[in-house]
Structure 1
């Protein structure tokens, strides 16, 4: 990995992390195109730069994060299922992450489902999130442990299934990303150092640059996505996912086998 590749991957992360299109699928396409080495630092990089994207949520919704303790309890309730299943099935999840076909198929299936989401939940009109709704949204988030599903897509659809408006479901999805991605980052860093690995000076610089770029890009992506989603719904994202899934399959089976970072 070099500085330019780190910047491009961070741009991709910032754009796709909060969109229902799967940042993992896009990382595969980009890393395959650049021929980035499949090593432990690259895996660490793609997780840690999510911190930059997370900070954009905190900045954009700063007042919401300090409105009440009830808000934090609801986030905690929604976060619990991912913690439990993540600890129980971490090895199986890692195995799935190394299978590009799984990602491609998930993109395709998810795209088809997104084409119907607006029709299924066209009566969603509530804005209040109860503890039960938070728990159910957290269960939907667990589906995203399958690479290519999209964490934001799963949680937004989960929120709409609980009668929440598109905007309310999307915003809660962003809030839930903070503890979820922070937990994933801490665990990845712990595993990295537990294996006796040490970051080089260049690698530290890549992480700093990646987080800064992901933060700036995510700021723009979140605001744009909220406005687009409230007006247009999910269908465009559905078509996009289907195209991305087909591209992945074509590259993997007809050009050269993909390696997931």
Structure 2
């Protein structure tokens, strides 16, 4: 495997690690980066790579929140273990919409939305939504300020917003955070619940992509395996820092800065598309 290809995949891992948790769309950024930094790999591999690399980022959540998410921890009381199981049940409820709808629209979305213009439009649309929602909620006290007070109904509604993130450029974390805030969650609860939702969703999405990749008659050679592992490890390390940054940032700030970032980036990409494409 040549050095240039390895450097490219390291860069893609850094992009994934940062953008998976910040509400600015990791898949959208990976698609856009691929327009400028072409990895020497097949189209089938890249479609699978852009999803499976997210497993590295997901493992960062598992590591950082292992104690909170582990219902078998011997250090927890009976009540704490029941609360942990309840949290997982809420995660399952929130994952149902995407799990039921995702497999049926995945091929269509890949064919029609994995390109410059749709990603740019979704970046702008959700950037505007972040600003509108934050302005609308300014000065309002959130109804749900702890994970324990998050209801199953609200969890399911957040899951419906997660379905919107199947469109590249939307951002899974962005869509679920917006949904959670609209329905009364604090920014902290919205972000944490989004992290937890990512665990089963991304494991499922990655498994689906790998199966589709293999069903098309592809196989993993040593180079592809190394590219995938390298990207995932880099995404894992960078995600550790990105998650810590976001959780500290939202203690004193809202999400409008991310909204403006999305609008500016999407506008620049559309301008580039109109001039050079």
1:11, CA displacement in angstroms?
Answer: 0.3
Contact kept? 1:121, 1:163, Cα under 8 Å: no
Counterparts of 1:146 and 1:34 in 2: how far apart (Å)?
A: 22
Q: Which runs of 5+ in 2 are unaligned?
A: 72-83
What corresponds to 1:114 in structure 2? Answer: 130
Counterparts of 2:23 and 2:52 in 1: how far apart (Å)?
A: 20
1:161, CA displacement in angstroms?
Answer: 1.9
1:120, CA displacement in angstroms?
Answer: 2.1
* 2:8 is the alignment partner of 1:5: yes
Q: Where does 1:46-125 land on structure 2 (aligned, <5 Å)?
A: 46-67=50-71, 68-122=84-138, 123=140, 124-125=142-143
What corresponds to 2:217 in structure 1? Answer: 196
What corresponds to 2:184 in structure 1? Answer: 163
1:125, CA displacement in angstroms?
Answer: 4.4
1:236, CA displacement in angstroms?
Answer: 0.8
Counterparts of 1:208 and 1:35 in 2: how far apart (Å)?
A: 18
Q: Deviations over 1:71-115 (max 9, x none)?
A: 221111000000111123223222233332111111111111111
1:165, CA displacement in angstroms?
Answer: 0.7
Q: Which runs of 5+ in 1 are unaligned?
A: 257-261
Aligned residues: 256
What corresponds to 2:154 in structure 1? Answer: 133
What corresponds to 2:231 in structure 1? Answer: 210
Counterparts of 2:153 and 2:39 in 1: how far apart (Å)?
A: 43
Work out which of the residue numbers 18, 39, 45 in structure 1 matches 2:43: 39
Q: TM-score, normalised by structure 2?
A: 0.88
What corresponds to 2:268 in structure 1? Answer: 247
Counterparts of 1:12 and 1:132 in 2: how far apart (Å)?
A: 34
Contact kept? 1:144, 1:154, Cα under 8 Å: yes
Counterparts of 1:204 and 1:210 in 2: how far apart (Å)?
A: 10
What corresponds to 2:247 in structure 1? Answer: 226
Contact kept? 1:144, 1:150, Cα under 8 Å: yes
The runs of at least 4 consecutive aligned structure 1 residues that moved more than 4 Å come to: none
Q: What root-mean-square deviation, in Å, do the aligned CA atoms of Structure 1 and Structure 2 show?
A: 1.5
What corresponds to 2:75 in structure 1? Answer: none
Q: Deviations over 1:191-210 (max 9, x none)?
A: 11111101111111111111
Counterparts of 1:33 and 1:183 in 2: how far apart (Å)?
A: 29
Task: Give the secondary-structure state (helix, strand or coil) at the position aligned to 2:39.
Answer: coil
Contact kept? 1:112, 1:242, Cα under 8 Å: yes
Counterparts of 2:36 and 2:249 in 1: how far apart (Å)?
A: 29
